[in-house]
Structure 1
Amino acid sequence: MWKATRPVEYPLEAKYRPVLESFLPKDPMSLFNLKRLSPKEEFPNLERNYTCMGQILTLNMYTRQFNRATEAGVIFDDVIRPGLEDPGQLSGPVKVGCVAGDAQSYILFCDFFDRVIEAYQGYKITNSQNSDFNFDNLKGGDDFDSMYVERCEVRISRSVEDFSFPTHCSRGERRRLFSLAKKALSQLGEEFPGCLYSLEERTQGNLGEVLTAQIPSALMIKNGVARDWPDARALWVSKDGNLVVWVNIEDHLQLVSRQTNSNIKEAFERVCVNVLKLEELYKKMRHPFVWKEHLGWVVSSPGDVGTGLRASIWVKLQHLSQHKRLNNILERLRLRMESTESSGVYKVYNIPTIGFTEVELVQLLVDGVKLLIVMEKKLQEPDGSIDHLVPAQK
Structure 2
Amino acid sequence: MRKRAVKNQFQELPVTFRFIHTSDLHIGRKFANIPQPVDGNIRGRLMEARHGAIGRLAQAARDQGAAHVLLAGDTFDTATPSPVVIRQALAAMGEAPELIWWLLPGNHDNLRDAEPLWEAIHRDAPANVIALTDAAPQDMGDAATLLPCPVAFRASASDPSEPLVTMASDDGKLRIGLAHGGVTDFTESGTAIAPDRDRSARLDYLALGDWHGRIAVSDRVQYCGSPEQDRFKHGRRGVCLSVAIDGPGAVPLVEEVETGSFLWAQVDLTLHPRQDAAAALTAILPGAGRRDVLLRVSATGWAGLPDHVDLQRAADRCAPEFAHFELVTDALGTQYETADLDEIDRGGALRLAADGLMDDAESETLSQADREVAADALARLYAYVREAAR
- Is the TM-score greater than 0.5? no
Q: TM-score range by the shorter chain?
A: under 0.3
More strand by share: 2
TM-score (norm 1): 0.24
Larger radius of gyration: 2
TM-score (norm 2): 0.24
